[in-house]
Structures are given as C-alpha cells and as structure tokens.
Structure 1
Amino acid sequence: MTIRAVLWDIDDTIFDYTGADRAGMRKHLEQEGLPDGYDSVEQALVAWRAITDVHWARFADGETDFRGQRRDRVREFVARALDDTEADDWFARHAAHYEAAWSLFPDALPALDLLADGFRHAVLSNSSIHNQDRKLRVLGVRDRFEAVVCAVELGVSKPEAGAFHAACEALALDPREVAYVGDEPDIDAAGAVSAGLAGIWLDRSGRGGRPELVRISGLDQLPGLLGPARP
C-alpha cells in the first residue's frame, strides 16, 4: 500500500534532546553546585541521563505519572529527601537552562521541506501534549504537523500498537499508509512495524545491527527512502 504520511518522533529525532539536556544540566550544575557523590560534572551528566531513562521507563509502564517521574529523577540524582515542592522547584530551575538550549537537528528542516508537498505529517510522542506542542511552537515547526498525539493524554505509549493506531486515526489513514520515524529501534521502529506501519530507525549514533529494521543514519536519507511525492 502507498505511504501517504510520515509520523514523527520528536526527541532525538528532529529535536536534539540529548544535546539540550546535557547543555542545560551543565549550566544548572554551575549554578546549583555538584551534588554530593559525584566527582565531576561529566559523571553527573552521565548519571542524570541514566536516571532519566530508568524513571521514564517507569512512567511509560504506568508505574508513576508525568510529574512523579520528574520528582523521582531529582530525588535520586541529588540523593536527598526533597518534598514535592522542592523537587518541582529544582526541576524548574534545570528546565529553564534546558529550554534555553533547544534546537532542531540541522537535517530536520531540510527533510521536512523536501517531504512537505508529497506527504502528510504528524507527531507521536511518549511525552505530554503540553510539553511537545509548546516545544514544536518554540522551535518554529508546529505548523508542519497536522496532529500531535502524545502518550500522557492517550493513556498508552509506544511501543504499544494502540499508540501508533491512535496517531493513524488522527490522520484518518490505515497504518499501512503511514511511515514512522524515530531514534529508538525497539520503541519506535520495531513498535511501528508490529502495529502495521512502515517503521524507520533513525540511527544517528551509528549503533548498527538490527538487520530486520529499515535503518537510516540521517534524515537526509529519508526522502530517497520514501520515494517520489504521492498523488
């Protein structure tokens, strides 16, 4: 069946989440000071990302809510028993530096431009609509997408088929008419394939492997992979 739409992940796919998170946390630690237990800023940055991955997975599995995973990340990172307000305030100070570092990957806009006329576009994210809609507006690309579908509001997250199907329903398209592009081989590409979409793994870091998946190393390869514009 003809591919008529591209469904996009946001973080570390079109938006440089990892770069912004590291830059923002580095600036935050300059002002807050290095928490006890860390010998260097680099060690703290690695720990923050690992802690984020663990608690985000808990959120995706329904073990906590969106705000709860943020608070748990802060408490584990600083290794102190902060109350909810203290944890929220700490995260908000970090978020200000993180947001100041927001940027699209250099290949994102050119790919969106090349695909603008031939394909419809939407977003499926495991975050919240409040965060992701605002992020896309700040980055100047919200109007590129017909719909922004997020797990927090859906109550189901990638790689569950229901998340992908909800996004296809927002486009009124059969899953076989939709290609999903994301940076995670299992959550994004394999999840999309299992749900009946064309899953495409954006492997920016060159991890390789996973020969069963369609893989690209940059968004500049996406137009050639999808082929000419569809009528």
Structure 2
Amino acid sequence: MATGMSLTLCFLTLRHKRPKARYIIWPRIDQKSCFKAMITAGFEPVVVENILEGDELRTDLEAVDRKMQELGAENILCVHSTTSCFAPRVPNRLEELATMCAKYDIPHVVNTAYGVQSSKCMHLIQQGARVGRIDAFVQSLDINFMVPVGGAIIAGFNGSFIQEISRMYPGLPHPGCAHHPAHPGGQRLQETPGRAEEGEGDSKDKSIQVKLRSFQNGACWLLLLK
C-alpha cells in the first residue's frame, strides 16, 4: 500500500464515523495520487486555491473557513492537508488548519509523503496536534526509507483511531506495527512520552523509529503497510 492508497484507507475508515459526509476540503496541490485517493474513496474533493504571498503559494485560511460554514461540518469528511511539496507552494498552515478542525469538529488527515526527512514538516505536525486536531498523517516508505516495493506509514496521536484503520486494512499489518499482534522477533512500538521504545526488529524498522522520535508531545502510533 503506497501513500495514495493509504490515504484512501484513512478516508474509508472515517466514513464509518461520519456516514453523512460527502466532501473533503483540500487545499490545492498539483499531485495526482492524493487527488485520486479522495475520488477512489467515493468523496467529492472541494479544492481550495492557494494565495500568493510574496513569492510563495500559501493556504487560503479564509476560503477554508468559508467552505466549512457553507457545506456544514456534518457533510465534511475531513480536511486533507499537505506538508511536503514543490516550490513555489509551501506546506499548508497546519497549526491554523488544525485549530479550525478542532473548532468545527472536523477530522484532519495530513499527506506528508516526503516530510519525514524534514524537521520543519515534522514540527508543523507536532504543533498542529498540540494546538488543534490532526487525526492521521501518512508518509512514504520508498521515498523516505528506500523500501524497494513501496509502502507507507500511517501515524497519529490517537491509538484507537490507528487501530480502526488497521482493522480496515485487507491483510495483516507489518509485524513492526504498534497494533500488530506480537510476533516472535517482531518489533513493537510502545506508548511512551515523546519517543518510541526499541524492541527486536530489522534495521528498516529501527530507522523508522529514529525518524519519528522528533515528536515531543506524547506517543506517536504507527501502522506500517507494505
């Protein structure tokens, strides 16, 4: 399961929580995979154009707020934001979006496919979760960890929601997953403040731990899909 299909899995899991929802608010990024992820899950993307600030394309927060009020919170599945991207677009304003999602009680899914290697992107996610709402964030295994067959990590700050996503997956998560049944020799990530405990596992799993240790505001729950 690469990044796009992992995003689809997050959206399908949220559908059970929000059966009336039809829309996903999506600050625009010109990348096909994340767009097709919303279509494949059966939702209508509501594209919010970015605004030019200096030489950067930034999130139009006023437009996002208007869409939330126009559509109604119960009709919105989530806000689908992005960290990693190509210039001149810069990462979405995650702190402000997370605050708005908490205000209107709307889930927030972050596409951070390339972002694990960027301390700035990881800081934005951490701050967003601290001040508002981030339900899950998805990153690529092949881009960040050189896994040759692709794959993704779905992570979040709510263990029960990551478990729900795990149950939706039509197969077994990787033995290194925080919610995979304990397997001999498998690595299990424990809930501890600010870091992931190391167990017995292969080197790729340990590299994933190290990348995600930058979180300081509580446990980060992982679901590894290969």
TM-score after normalising by structure 2? 0.36
The structure with the larger Rg is 1
TM-score (norm 1): 0.35
Higher fraction of strand: 2
Higher relative contact order (CA 8 A, sep 6+): 1
More helix by share: 1
